[in-house]
Chains A and B, each alone.
Chain A
Amino acid sequence: MTQATTTFAPVETAADGSTAGPIAIPPAVKMIKSITASVVVDGAHSVNTGPIFVLRLTGTGALPDGNQDFVLGSVHHPNGGGTVTDTDSVILKPLTIPVNIAVNPGADLALQAAYYGTDAGSPQLSVEIEFS
């Protein structure tokens, strides 16, 4: 996520590195059953920043009830006055949100992400969508 704060940008790289683009909603699928996501900062995390991340589901004709926005979580790298060198690690379980969001089969579902607060450096977001 290289964009500025409170700005949505596409989430469209597949796990194999290819550009997946919007997700073609499979035929006969009628709903999204769950969303699972995790987010970390892949690079130096700017100290004393603490963004909160948001996922948006969108796409022309994909969502009968319109765009849907979900808060995913937050990160924070406190460093007080910034005089201490630190090395930290975090292992984070993904967040799973059970949902019941209607979709239109055959349409393209687009994923976008944004963050509130101050840019932490280079946040990296992964999203799994479960259709039913």
Chain B
Amino acid sequence: MAKYYVTVADAMTQAANTFAAVQTLPDGGTLSSIKVPPGMTKITVLGAALTHDGTATIDTGNNFTVQLSGTGLTDGIQEFNVGALAVQEVGTSVGAALVAETANYRDVEVNVKPGEIVVSAAYDGTDPGAPFLAVTLGFE
């Protein structure tokens, strides 16, 4: 079970199928890469939450992928499916709804070594407007 947790997030303003850095700390600071904490040998937990932070583009659906890269990964680049967002509209009305979703935490087994880890993310499909992703990595 993980002992050390770090969280980064970002709005995903890039085009579809394009990785971009996820590097904003919850206090607004920038963490362009995560230094593997001393003594840690694995990432064993990956938590993620998705949202549309703004007006979502109707009739879009997107799957999201988190990529880990950098010198701190023993086995090279790793990619994870972290879920999907979809917005649909029937007819020409403008609908409304309320959505709340807990973050999804899953077990992973990624070997790490002293070095840096860069978190990036991409989505497939059509640009949904204002997707936003937050990621927590748990080290042990």
Contact = CB atoms under 8 A, between A and B. Distances in A.
Given A8-B26, A84-B93, A114-B26, A78 B99 contact: yes
Contact of A71 (B1, B24, B94, B136): B136
B51 interface: yes
Q: Give the interface SS of chain A, mostly helix, strand, loop or mixed.
A: loop
Interface string B87-109: 10100011111111111010000
Contacts of B41: none
Contacts of A118: 53-54
B112 to A, nearest CB: 15
A75 B47 contact: no
Interface stretch (B4-12, B68-76, B114-122): B4-12
Nearest to A77: B98
A71 B9 contact: yes
A18 interface: no
B134 A71 contact: yes
A129 interface: no
Interface string B46-84: 011111111110100000000000000000000000000
Given A48-B55, A100-B1, A71 B96 contact: no
B140 interface: yes
Contact of B98 (A66, A88, A95, A98): A88
B2 interface: yes
Given A7-B27, A71-B135, A74-B51, A93 B5 contact: no
A94 B102 CA distance: 7
Interface string A73-95: 11111111111111011101111
B94 A76 contact: no
Q: Chain A interface residue count: which class? A: 35 or more
A107 interface: no
Interface string B12-45: 0000000000001111100000000100000001
Interface of B: 1-7, 9-11, 24-28, 37, 45, 47-56, 58, 87, 89, 93-103, 105, 130, 132-136, 138, 140
Given A68-B4, A74-B103, 8 more contacts: A5-B28, A66-B4, A71-B9, A75-B100, A76-B99, A80-B89, A92-B102, A99-B3
